[in-house]
Structure 1
Amino acid sequence: KVFVDTTVLVCKSYTNLLFLFPPSTSVQSELRITTIKQEPYTMSKGTQLEGFCMDLLSEVAKKVGFKYKVHLVKDGSYGRQDESGNWNGMIGEVVRGEADLAIAPLTLTAAREKVVAMTKPFMQTGVSILLRKDISEGAGFFDFLTPFTAETWVGILIAYLGTAACIFVATRLSPCEWSQPLSEQNTFSFLHSLWYTAGALTLQGAGPHPKALSGRIICCSWWLFTIVLLACYFSNLSSSKTSDSSHLMVKGFEDLANQDMIEYGCLAGSSTLAFFKNSNNPVYRRIYEHMERTKSFVTSMDEGVRRAKEGNFAFIGESVSLDLAVARHCELVRAHEVVGMRGYSIAAALGSPIIKNLSVAILQLSEAGELAYLRSKWWASSCISDKAKSLAVQPHSLRGMFLVLSLGLGLGALVAVLELTSKSRRSAAEQKKSCCTVLSEELSLRLRTSNANKVQENLEKDKEKA
């Protein structure tokens, strides 16, 4: 008697273990898989099917250990419940037992979770907006600064102030520029040096020009720098300038709801439509009511993308699908705002013993980076070169010109010191003083601002007397 009871207990325990953790031999010899054609999840290649979902199915089958046969859903629908409570599409096939698994971009929702078992999400998505680039953004007040980054503008400002300071110092030190500090006024004050440098930056010029070799070296270096700088600025400004065909700014759902110039809609009968329909957010409710009133729904993803490309239409859909459209069509852009985050999952019949193992396999693929690899493989963009054109110029892109300017400023300052030293040596020989003493006196005389003010006052007095 005891022996029989133990056998029953063992058999029951073994049956429970098979239900929770079925080995490969407990799974059907060939599972029936239903899917739907949608790029890049499932696509036809000759007589075979390929895409993200097909690669995912292959990897999951290896880990769990089952064979499968894939067929396309008969009615071409994901799965929606009608008024009588019956489900169509892939969800309906799983519910009716016509398929064991449904693998596609199936959104994990509460309604679907009630009638089928769904795995852990293999991809996260949300709801966003797809528009044509010329209506997605408006012109800002400071768009003229976009050709350069903030770091580049700071570098240009430092170069401007440094050049003006070098011109000011060189024209005061050089005897060829200012030969008689006691009787002559220096034409290159610091304010005039700033004005002269700004004039050269705008290619307008602001005389008088330096006469000494040291000042001319500095000016030539600055002129060369400004020519390259302006060429880079205007080139990048023209490439990043957006079309002026529309001045409407659409950055998110609130902007979309507050305007009436652009029509918008989503996929009919989709989970995106259900999100707006069931939302209590007043902005989302207004969007839903507008779509219902205007009947601006599309019957397929391709139709939504086509209407967005034609302009004056914003297509609302899953952010992952919209990212694919942006990667394939360079004239489109996705809004930054993403709401209603949810996931794509594999569906199986309620109580299916394989659903647990499928979730574990998906988590293992995610942790190993396989899902990220499949995403990059099937979402590869063909618009990389176009994106690179509108990038702001980084400081390291102009480091060569900054280096040339620095060498020119340093060389000009050195020549100015050499010019003053040469004059000091001649004066020391005439006055029979040491060169260092005469050079020190010259530096003190030329760099004192009070002396310049005194010379200005003397010149004004001479003019009054005359």
Structure 2
Amino acid sequence: MTRLKATICFISSVGAATHQPNKCQGVIHHHYKGILALHLSLSMNAWRRHKTIYRIQLVPFSQDEPYAMSRGSQLEGYCIDLMSELSKKLGFRYNVHLVKDGRYGAMDSSGNWNGMIGEVIRGEADLAVAPLTVTAVRERFVDMTTPFIQTGLSFIMRKSADSEDHSFSLLSPFSTEMWVGVLVAFLLTGLCVFLVGRISPMEWADPEADEHSFTLLHSFWYITGALTLQGAGPHPKALSGRLVAAIWWIFAVLLLACYFVNFNSVLHNKSKHTSITTFEELANQDVIDYGTVENGSTMLFFKAQRTPGNSIHPVYRRIHQHMERKKSYVSSMQEGVRLAQEGRFAFIGEAVSLDLAVARYCKLTRAQEVISMRSYSIAAPRGSPLVKNLTIAILQLSESGELTHLREKWWASSCMGSDETHASDALKPYDLRCLFLLLGLGLGVGLLLALLELLSRARSRAKDGKKSCCSVLSSELHRRFRSGGEGAEQESSDKSKA
């Protein structure tokens, strides 16, 4: 067969044609031979006779991460990049639209197809590019290229306790934000105890005995003793200091109670968690429920196992019976992934899609066992001349490593090394917001009382010494924060004069 140089125009409107080549939205310039050349030759002869421009490459996509995703007015994803690479190799340009009903394609009871397969069969599109599983029933109605992804069936579930690092299990009852909140509360309370001890005149009533009471170091030591439910005297004498101490003790007791209750819950969940790695183990237990997308290809695989005389694997038949009995099907993969994250549920699906979920959600893990190997391909109308050339181009991309590069690009993990296995179980500051609010209110009132006590003492001395209240107050604050000893000496001398 001789080579033929062909120029093919295409338009985006379904079922339309034009007699004006300059209004075509895309052009193919390529040298073809063989079967494709024969079909193109017939098309070119028809164009010469009827002045008709034949539409080519109106490609529907399903919006499904990471295959095709909207980013503003643009589409991006694995399938978008794949079509870009194929167009470079075969030298064509193409139009893209998202499939109208958002489905891949299934045949109803009347024999009509929906989704992308239906658009291809009805001539509304020339190619369907998506994670389309190659099945026998689809092959009877459309032609499919060589696979661009190989996959199989597996399942994901929440990580078991055996796969976790127990080095910091003592920290697991509280989230990172909660620990930061406790540390901030500790520092603020220690500082508040120190300030109240300096400001309140009652803390300087006996300078010889309490000369070093409530220094900054002792203030933190005092509230640390409260965390261990032990006293670390001497205790505050002023009303303001006692209020701050009482509020901190209440905070510490309630915080410790929440910690131990949640820690017991975490240990209980770990002990009950079952580690499952195979479909046989999944079928032989009743602790964790499992299911798959209703009416999907995965469900059809397990449904076929109940066919009389089908003895491929009795485990698969038991899995299907369980899903039918418990009605544990989900409406979408997103729902299945969400249930798996919550725990007590294993979501069965195609391994390549499950790998993406594991890459996005670090608390999930996929079983190593993969069954019922299958593949994803591009669909075209029966007898389409595009299939052969697309198949060759896909094989070339596979041999050059480009398909591997695309897989690594779009399935890259976004976990960044974090482990959020028990993040949903850990207490967060929002959960104990009332406790933090109580502490903050108590510290504020304690400081206010200390200032009022100092102001009352300053007014009394200003009246006795016939000085302004502001000058006496400023002098009192200066002496207290300049040096504890000097402040004590001043209090002692004032007391002696009195």
The alignment status of 1:372 with 2:404, answered yes or no, reads yes
> 1:194-246, CA deviations, whole angstroms, 9 ceiling, x for partnerless residues?
xxxxxxxxxxxxxxxxxxxxxxxxxxxxxxxxxxxxxxxxxxxxxxx997242
Distance 1:138 1:367 in 2: 36
Match of 1:268 in 2: 294
Q: Which amino acid aligns with 1:285?
A: R
* Secondary structure of the corresponding residue to residue 361 of structure 1: helix
Indicate if the aligned counterparts of 1:277 and 1:285 stay in contact, CA closer than 8 A.
Answer: yes
Cα distance between partner residues in 2 of 1:311 and 1:331? 10
**Mapped pair 1:95 → 2:121:** yes
The counterpart of 1:74, out of the listed 85, 100, 103, is: 100
Measured in 2, the distance between the counterparts of 1:245 and 1:69 equals 55
**1:18 is matched with which residue: 29, 33, 37?**
37
SS of the equivalent of 2:291 reads strand
Which residue of 2 is the match for residue 200 of structure 1? none
**Residue 35 of structure 2 contacts residue 385 of structure 2 at CA under 8 Å; is this kept in 1?**
no
Task: Quickly say closer, same or farther: Cα 1:17–1:333, change in 2 above 3 A.
Answer: closer
Aligned residue identity for 2:290: Y
Moved segments of 4+, more than 3 Å: 14-17, 19-30
* C-alpha spacing 1:23/1:337, structure 2 compared with 1 (3 Å): farther
Shift in Å, 1:267: 1.1
Aligned alpha-carbon RMSD (Å): 3.1
Q: Which runs of 5+ in 1 are unaligned?
A: 1-13, 145-240, 388-466
Match in the other structure for 1:293: 325
How far apart, CA to CA, are the structure 2 residues paired with 1:88 and 1:42? 19
Indicate if the aligned counterparts of 1:30 and 1:67 stay in contact, CA closer than 8 A: no
Structure 1 partner of 2:413: 381
- On the 8 A contact 1:24/1:66 being kept in 2, the answer is no
1:346 aligns with 2:378: yes
Give the deviation of 1:66 after TM superposition. Answer: 2.1
The one-character-per-residue Cα deviations of 1:428-456 (angstroms, maximum 9, x if unpaired) are xxxxxxxxxxxxxxxxxxxxxxxxxxxxx
- TM-superposed CA distance for 1:264, in Å, is 0.8
1:182-197 equivalence runs, <5 A: none
Structure 1 residues 30, 242: CA separation in 2 closer, same or farther (over 3 Å shift)?
farther
Q: Residue 35 of structure 1 corresponds to which residue in structure 2?
A: 61
Cα offset, 1:275, TM superposition: 1.3
CA distance in 2, matches of 1:22, 1:360: 21
Tell me, in whole angstroms, the C-alpha distance in 1 between the residues paired with 2:34 and 2:392: 21
Cα 1:245–1:49 change in 2 (3 A) is: farther
- Which residue identity does 2:331 align to in structure 1? T
Change (3 A) 1:20 1:338: farther
For 2:93 and 2:113, the matched residues in 1 are separated by 27
8 Å contact kept, 1:30–1:69: no
Q: What residue number does 2:272 align with? A: 246
Q: Tell me, what secondary structure is at the counterpart of 2:348?
A: strand
Q: Compute the displacement of 1:19 (Å).
A: 3.3
Q: 1:365 Cα deviation (Å)?
A: 0.4
8 Å contact kept, 2:36–2:385: no
Residue pairs, 1:99-178, within 5 angstroms:
99-134=125-160
Instruction: Go from structure 1 to structure 2 and tell me whether the alpha carbon gap of 1:23 and 1:129 turns closer, same or farther (over 3 Å shift).
Output: farther
TM-score (norm 1): 0.55
Number of residues of Structure 1 aligned to a counterpart in Structure 2: 276
Q: What CA distance in whole angstroms lies between the structure 2 residues aligned with 1:22 and 1:272?
A: 42
| Map of 1:307 onto structure 2 | 339
Contact 1:80 1:269 in 2 (8 A): no
Show structure 2 runs of 5+ residues with no match.
Answer: 1-32, 48-52, 168-266, 306-311, 420-498
CA distance in 2, matches of 1:44, 1:65: 25
Q: Structure 1: how far apart are the matches of 2:284 and 2:140?
A: 36
- Identical counterparts, % of pairs: 59
Q: Distance between the aligned counterparts of 1:51 and 1:242, measured in 2?
A: 42
Q: Which amino acid aligns with 2:329?
A: F
**1:382 CA displacement:** 2.3
Distance change (3 Å), C-alpha of 1:93 and 1:249? same
Q: What SS does the corresponding residue of 1:385 show, helix, strand or coil?
A: coil
Per the alignment, in what secondary structure is the counterpart of residue 272 of structure 2? Answer: coil
The offset of 1:345, in angstroms, is 0.2
Q: What amino acid is aligned across from residue 110 of structure 1 in structure 2?
A: A
Instruction: Choose which of 58, 63, 85 in structure 2 pairs with 1:59.
Output: 85
TM-score when normalising by structure 2: 0.52
The AA in structure 1 aligned to 2:77 is: G
2-structure distance, mates of 1:52, 1:22: 33
> What letter is aligned with 1:372?
T
Q: Shift of the alpha carbon at 1:378?
A: 0.5
1:46 to 2:65 alignment: no
Alignment of 1:321 onto 2:353: yes
The superposition leaves residues 45-84 of structure 1 with CA deviations (integer Å, 9 ceiling, x where unpaired) of: 0011100000001111121222211111111111111122
Contact 2:303 2:317 in 1 (8 A): yes
Q: How many Å apart are 1:261 and its aligned residue?
A: 1.6
Inter-partner Cα distance in structure 2 for 1:369 and 1:384? 25
Aligned CA distance change for structure 1 residues 23 and 61 (closer, same or farther; 3 Å) = farther
Deviation at 1:16, TM superposition (A): 5.2
State the SS of the aligned residue for 1:81. Answer: coil
Q: In 2, Cα distance between the equivalents of 1:71 and 1:294?
A: 39
1:15 deviates by: 9.1
Residue in 2 that maps onto 1:83: 109
Match of 1:363 in 2: 395
Per-residue CA distance 1:311-336 (angstroms, 9 max, x = gap): 11110001001001001000000011
Cα distance in 2 for residues equivalent to 1:52 and 1:259: 37
The letter for the 2-side match of 1:334 is R
Counterpart CA distance in 1 for 2:413 and 2:163 is: 25
2:250 counterpart residue number: none
Change (3 A) 1:344 1:386: same
Provide the rounded CA distance (Å) in 2 between the counterparts of 1:267 and 1:39.
16
Partner residue of 1:335 out of 335, 353, 367: 367
User: Secondary structure at 1:382's aligned position in 2?
Assistant: coil
Question: Using a 3 Å threshold, how does the CA distance of structure 1 residues 51 and 81 change in structure 2: closer, same or farther?
Answer: same
Where does residue 200 of structure 2 map in the other structure?
Answer: none
Asked whether the equivalents of residues 62 and 130 of structure 2 are also in contact (C-alpha less than 8 Å), the reply is yes
Q: Residues 343, 21 of structure 1: CA spacing in aligned structure 2 closer, same or farther, 3 A cutoff?
A: farther
Distance (Å, rounded) in 1 between the aligned partners of 2:68 and 2:345? 27
Cα distance in 2 for partners of 1:118, 1:17 equals 15
- Residues 69 and 17 of structure 1: CA distance in aligned 2, closer, same or farther (over 3 Å): closer
1:178 corresponds in structure 2 to none
The alpha-carbon deviation at position 247 of structure 1 amounts to 3.7
Q: Letter of the aligned partner of 2:294 in structure 1?
A: A
